Each structure stands twice: as structure tokens, then as C-alpha cells.
Structure 1
Amino acid sequence: MTGLDLTPAPRARRPRPKVVTLTERAAERVREIMSKPRKDGAEKPYAGLRVGVKNGGCAGQEYVLEYAEAANPFDEVVEDKGVTILVEPKAVLFLIGTEIDYEVSKLSAKFVFRNPNETDACGCGESVTIEPAKEA
């Protein structure tokens, strides 16, 4: 034995891109919603906005947005423009590169997902077909 330490030195990890981002309009709307008193009367504020994908609709999949009481152990936590977004683990590959916007028109106000992984959408705009992100 030579007494040399052959343990590799830890390497700095390169920064990972955010799975999803928000436009300023979307971030402003989420901050506004989250600042209001909770409808269930609880004092504790929400931990963030949970984003996911579920099977459903005529195109096969639907986006899901809901208030999150706490981060789940495997959620991808994204901080963007002062908003905490919790991405469900099974949705990460479907949402990589997605920008969430908030649009207001004469007939509706809604969050809109601009997802580069979408391959199709139904006519009513309520469901989409999403392929997992390809390796770069």
C-alpha cells in the first residue's frame, strides 16, 4: 500500500434547466390567488402550485393544476418569479421546456401551457397528446 487516497474529488454539478417556467402574467396571477385567504379556513399558506399530467380527454392527456399543502418527497421543485411550482415526478418528462402563461379574453381567463412536447390537441383545447422529452 502506498497510502495514496484514490477517492475521486467531488465534481460541481452543472445547473439543470427548469422543467417549467412562468410568464410574468402567470406568476402574477398565481401570486394573487395564493395571497387570498384559503377557502377551507386553514391558516397555513399553501406550499405552492402543483403541476401534473393525467390520462383523460379525447386527445389522451390533460394538464392538472392544484394547490399543494406540501411538497411530496419526489416532486421537482421549481422557483420562478417568486412562485413555487411542484411538478409531479411522473409528469417531468412530459413537461420539460414548458412555459405556463395566463391569458384573458372576452369569454375566458385561463392558464395556457406552451409545451414543446405536445404532438396533438383536441378541438376544444382541453386535452393534448404529449410525448416524453427526447434526450438532447
Structure 2
Amino acid sequence: MSTENITAAAPVTLTAGAVAELKKLIDQQELGPDFGLRLGVEGGGCSGMSYILGFDTKKDGDSEYEIEGIRVFMNKAHGMYLAGMEVDFKNGLDARGFTFNNPNATSTCGCGSSFSA
């Protein structure tokens, strides 16, 4: 992996639980070295914006970061909505999945799948 285009400090954090789950998923899906985690936002949901979380390759307009050995891609325009956000992974009896703690979210919908900033 070339580090020439990696930005020094990521605007988001991944908890140890999120890192462990992401590394497990990367291994299970046998993703090549060009793939990384895409974090972003898109219009939708009852509060206006929804999170993007998935594996992808770097696109034009992306910033690239490395967090605990995981390549992270974010569209530069999404940074203002995601700065300071923490991504966690919950694996309990009552809930299992990735969660987002975003200090920029001024409100969230009742179902928790969208937010406004």
C-alpha cells in the first residue's frame, strides 16, 4: 500500500470493536489491497442524511486515511458532517452492528438510521 496520498490525521475514530470486526470482514471477503472502508453521508432518511459504510476503492475527490491498518476513504465534501465521529461495533444480546456517535448530528430520527446536521 502506497502512503504518498494518505492524510495524517483521520477526522473519525474507530473503536477497538469496530477495528476487530472490520478486519474480520476484510479477511472473510478476501478484499485486495486497493480496497478500504468507505465512510460518508448521503441524502435520505426521515432526518435528511444517512451514513455510508462499506468497502470500496479510492475515488476522485476522496481523502485517504489509515486507522489501525485499515484504509479509510472519505469524500472531502463529507468531512464537515463526519468530523469527530466515532464508529463502534456492538455485539450484544439486544443489538449487533456498527454504531455512529456523531457530535455534528443535531437530531436523529426515531429509528436511528438518519440524522440532520
- TM-score, reference length from structure 1: 0.74
Is the CA contact 1:46–1:67 (under 8 Å) kept in the aligned structure 2? no
Structure ID, larger Rg: 1
Q: Which runs of 5+ in 2 are unaligned?
A: 1-6
Flag the structure with more relative contact order, 1 or 2, with Cα contacts below 8 A and sequence separation at least 6. 2
Partner of 1:10: none
Among 28, 32, 44, the alignment partner of 2:20 is 28
Aligned: 1:76 with 2:58:
no
Amino acid at match of 1:25: G
> Residues 8-27 of structure 1 correspond to what in structure 2 (within 5 A)?
17-27=9-19
Secondary structure at the residue paired with 1:77? Answer: strand
Between the aligned partners of 2:8 and 2:104, the Cα distance in structure 1 is 18
Residue aligned with 2:98, SS? strand
Return the offset for 1:46: 5.2
Give the superposed CA RMSD.
1.9
CA distance in 2, matches of 1:90, 1:19: 13
Tell me whether 1:56 sits opposite 2:44 in the alignment: yes
- Corresponding residue for residue 54 of structure 2: 66
Partner of 1:127: 114
Letter in 1 for 2:41: V
What is the number of residues matched between the two proteins? 111
Aligned equivalents of 1:51, 1:44: Cα separation in 2? 18
Q: Which runs of 5 or more structure 1 residues have no equivalent in the other structure?
A: 1-14, 131-136
Which residue is 2:103 aligned to?
116
What is the rounded CA distance, in whole Å, between the counterparts of 2:34 and 2:28 in structure 1?
A: 10
Offset of 1:16 from its aligned partner?
5.8
One-letter amino acid of the counterpart of residue 82, structure 1: G
1:108 & 1:46 partners in 2: Cα distance? Answer: 31
1:107 is displaced (CA, Å) by 3.7
Whole-angstrom distance in 1 between the partners of 2:62 and 2:23:
20
More strand by percentage: 2
